[in-house]
Amino acid sequence: MAGIYVHIPFCASRCNYCAFYSNANMSHDTQKAYADSVIEELTARRNEIYDTVSTIYFGGGTPSQLTTELLGKLLDTITHNYNIAPEPEITIECNPEDLSGQYLAALHSIGFNRLSMGVQTFDNSLLTLLHRRHDSLRAQQAVHDAQHAGFNNITIDLMYGLPEQTEELLRKDINTAISLPIKHLSAYCLTYEPYTALDTLRRQGSVIETDDDTLNNYYDILVDTLAKAGFEQYETSNFAIHGYHSRHNSAYWTGGQYLGVGAAAHSYDGQRTRRWNISDIKRYIQRDRWYDGEVLTDNELYDEMVMLSLRQICGINLKQMSERFGTHMTQQCLTKAQQYISAGKLLHEAECLRVSHEGMKILDMITATLMA
């Protein structure tokens, strides 16, 4: 099965922690011209997907900045040019402030069946600090409105380790989230990305970065509270009610084939070829060459398998590793892993090598050690 990712690089305003490629306050004419270019790219690259498409994902930026008319045209182009599996997962990322009842009903009617909502926190002071445009009540109401519009598969994003966030505020965020009719939750530790406004404030001393011990405590609280509420952790930052894992993102982590269209989107052929589109809306609209690419070496493929597999609770499938890279590489991996196995940070179970709960706290260190 394959996936299609559509990048919509438009936002009403820019959050101060965001390093994704997007542009704020673009005109409707620019949005329409951009959608026309995406339609052309989808049509031109349809032969790159040789498998049935089981997932479609509109990310950004903020896809909910587009009208449902434009979104519908993009979806129609996909369904007319690709072999779509029965009951595909079709996701759109949205911000709460964009979601009127009418807009949500229209999204559902044109084919979206999974809604990913960027909430980040339910604390109004922290939302202001992050330059988010919604408040806590708007976010909660948007989830209820989405359910009323027919969305049964709703996921929200939360962040932890925010400046001025306390344990009490974190627990309140988590408890508010699980009180809502959601099936999935993604929880990310705040990263101070270089050249973002929030990183500038950190370097100036205006905000204080959360220390590692506090972050580890917050992670424990997050995992424990969600587990008690019935949310299975299946990846380091992702939790779901049974049967509601993100099928699209899971394909990324397992090396599946996906086509990325739109400015700054990435593609992978499921074998060893990766492509990335130009990160420039103007050039993209002018059709000034869509993408560049590279062919990955065996060592690069091995490193990707290690990195992506360790993020998942199921871990590295050692049998698959041996089949792809040989028993020598697998044995080398296990030798490097021994120090973490002895410390209880890695668990070696039959044909699986996976990170323990405590190991997740030093995941980057473990990953770097096991790479080729």
Q: What are 74-95's pLDDT values in tens digits?
A: 999 999 999 999 999 999 999 9
Q: Establish if 43 belongs to a structural domain.
A: yes
Q: Is 137 exposed, middle or buried (0-12, 13-18, 19+ CB in 10 A)?
A: exposed
Q: Establish if 197 belongs to a structural domain.
A: yes
Q: Establish if 307 belongs to a structural domain.
A: no
The answer to whether residues 38 and 140 belong to one domain is: yes
The answer to whether residues 221 and 324 belong to one domain is: no
The answer to whether residues 177 and 104 belong to one domain is: yes
Asked if the model's pLDDT at residue 21 lies above 80, the reply is: no
pLDDT (mean) for 110-117: 98
The answer to whether residues 212 and 322 belong to one domain is: no
At 233, is the pLDDT very low, low, confident or very high (cuts 50, 70, 90)? very high
CATH number reported for the structural domain that contains residue 195 in this entry? 3.20.20.70
Which of 251, 273, 299 finishes a domain?
Answer: 251
Q: Establish if 296 belongs to a structural domain.
A: no
- With residue 364 as reference, give the H or E element that holds it: helix 363-370
The answer to whether residues 199 and 347 belong to one domain is: no
Q: Which amino acid is at 102?
A: Q
pLDDT (mean) for 303-311: 96
Q: Establish if 133 belongs to a structural domain.
A: yes
Asked if the model's pLDDT at residue 50 lies above 90, the reply is: no
The answer to whether residues 17 and 139 belong to one domain is: yes
Asked if the model's pLDDT at residue 25 lies above 70, the reply is: no
pLDDT value at residue 197? 87
- With residue 109 as reference, give the H or E element that holds it: helix 101-110
Q: Establish if 260 belongs to a structural domain.
A: no
Stronger pLDDT, 311 or 290, i.e. the higher one: 311
Stronger pLDDT, 280 or 260, i.e. the higher one: 260
Which of 251, 266, 292 finishes a domain?
Answer: 251
Q: Establish if 289 belongs to a structural domain.
A: no
pLDDT value at residue 17? 82
Total structural domains in the chain?
A: 2
The answer to whether residues 336 and 205 belong to one domain is: no
The answer to whether residues 236 and 340 belong to one domain is: no
DSSP state of 231: P
The answer to whether residues 245 and 363 belong to one domain is: no
What residues make up the domain containing 362?
Answer: 312-372
- With residue 60 as reference, give the H or E element that holds it: strand 53-60
pLDDT value at residue 196? 87
Which of 235, 251, 267 finishes a domain?
Answer: 251
For the chain, give the mean pLDDT.
94
Q: Could you tell me what percent of the chain has a pLDDT over 90?
A: 86
At 288, is the pLDDT very low, low, confident or very high (cuts 50, 70, 90)? low
At 38, is the pLDDT very low, low, confident or very high (cuts 50, 70, 90)? very high
Compute CA distances 314 → 111, 188, 233, 351, 352, whole Å.
31, 19, 10, 11, 7
pLDDT (mean) for 184-202: 92
Q: Establish if 100 belongs to a structural domain.
A: yes
Asked if the model's pLDDT at residue 269 lies above 70, the reply is: yes
The answer to whether residues 156 and 238 belong to one domain is: yes
Alpha carbon 104 to its chain's center: 21
The answer to whether residues 216 and 318 belong to one domain is: no
